Amino acid sequence: MTIQEFQRFIREKYHARDSERGTPATFLWFMEEVGELASALAGGGQGEKEEEFADVLAWLCTLANINDVDLAKAVEKYTRRGVEGFK
């Protein structure tokens, strides 16, 4: 599944509810998932890490969807235009 396909899947399944919640509340949910990922990385098993990575990606897609951002296009920063140097 591509990034675009996954983002579309999340949109089709959750967009109505996500739009009602709005960006500020959705961002808080996203940050909660990032915190759970941090905990999993600090000491969870492989299955827990994979689950939390999936949750973070799903909530990132949700944020992108309700803010009209195409993630596949956004990552062209890395794939087509290239990124020079390190941050």
- What residue ranges do the domains of the chain occupy? 24-78
Per residue in 22-48, pLDDT tens? 999 999 999 999 999 999 999 999 999
Cβ atoms within 10 Å, residue 51: 15
Task: Report the mean per-residue pLDDT for the chain.
Answer: 94
* Phi/psi at 45 (5° precision): -80, 170
Q: Which fold has domain 24-78?
A: Helix Hairpins (1.10.287)
pLDDT at position 87: 54
Per residue in 42-69, pLDDT tens? 999 999 999 999 999 999 999 999 999 9
Taking Cα atoms as reference points, which of 10, 16, 25 lies closest to residue 57?
Answer: 10
Residue tagged 């959705």 (tokens): 26
pTM over 0.85: yes
Taking Cα atoms as reference points, which of 80, 50, 85, 64 lies closest to residue 3?
Answer: 64
Show the tokens assigned to 5. Answer: 């396909």
